[in-house]
Amino acid sequence: MESLRIEILNPKAKSLIKNLVDMDLIRIKKEKGKSEFTELLAKLRKRSDKSPSVEEITKEVELVRKARYEK
């Protein structure tokens, strides 16, 4: 199976692609992009020598949530 990334320039092309899907000739899969949070972490880590890991951030978030809900 071959995968291609296609940019649709004309809305009419989208209907042609949908027709190909209806004929079971192709399948459309949405790409999973990086989340905004992951991109932000990567950007911050580039600027810092020692950045917190995702696990450390998760632990801190859980502590803050716990303190907020105990009130």
pLDDT one-digit tens code per residue, 3-40: 888 889 999 999 999 999 999 999 988 777 677 788 88
pTM of this prediction?
0.42
Two tokens, residue 60: 């801190």
Domain borders along the chain are 36-70
